[in-house]
A and B are shown apart, each in its own frame.
Chain A
């Protein structure tokens, strides 16, 4: 798996809990809503069909009634080990053009203290430019606004 330091993130933690508990926290929508977004935002898991090509959609509710949907799909599911999902494809592999195109690879491994957890988040490089052109923007500040907007709309 190739990582591009300008486009990809790797986040790793040792979670002091057995792997089945971490897996369940990730794969039970009710539990995911507890941790998926930062307060005062609230996550609503609208679709969670945990199989390749299955829909995954979290709606973020903001404190002022903002709503940010994040439709995507799962690409790979290995129980207790690995979940890969993307916003570049929605349910049934339908191509999408989200604000922030990304693929996340989540892995869980046994560790002496519990679970070795990591998330690798990959981003496309063309999206900023493409978004820029599509919206007809003509100077650099817009890119910043769109990138920030993308982050919020994507929420991850």
Chain B
């Protein structure tokens, strides 16, 4: 599997961030059953509406959902293309471990050079 890391990473960071929260994951699961209004989506959560709207904004920003306002009702829809792109979970694990290994190398190398020049 060949991945252009430089292109892939920013997309994944957004998606990771969006999916890192249980409320946002629950919203995606709900939307997977079909479009839903903000009111319907917020119902299961014991959360003030402004806080809930922040979660919706994160999902929209990461391009996982879109929302449209019609009259007084804002309806959210899943954007499957982004998810399809992110489907390659193994590729994402690779990105995570490559990054982790790079950071370890950087950290150890900077410590080694400090020890060499006390």
Contact with A along B58-91 (1 / 0, CB 8 A): 1000000000000000000010100110110110
**Contact for A119 among B28, B78, B101, B111, CB less than 8 A:** B101
Is B40 an interface residue when CB atoms closer than 8 A count as contact? no
Across the interface, do A18 and B15 meet the contact criterion of CB distance under 8 Å? no
Is A42 an interface residue when CB atoms closer than 8 A count as contact? no
**Contact for A22 among B19, B84, B108, CB less than 8 A:** B108
Q: Bound state CA distance, A25 and B93, in angstroms?
A: 21
Task: Name the residue of chain A whose CB is nearest to the CB of B107.
Answer: A35
Total A-B contacts with CB atoms under 8 angstroms apart: 127
Which secondary structure dominates chain B's binding surface? helix
**Contact for B93 among A35, A123, A144, CB less than 8 A:** A123
A21 in contact with B108 given A11-B101, A66-B20, A148-B92 (CB within 8 Å): yes
User: Known pairs A36-B100, A68-B20, A148-B92. 9 more at Cβ < 8 A?
Assistant: A17-B105, A25-B107, A25-B108, A62-B17, A63-B17, A64-B58, A121-B97, A141-B78, A151-B89
Spell out A's residues near B (CB within 8 Å): 6-7, 9, 11, 13, 15-18, 21-22, 25-26, 31, 34-38, 60, 62-64, 66, 68, 114-115, 117, 119, 121, 123, 128, 135, 137, 139, 141-145, 147-153, 155-156
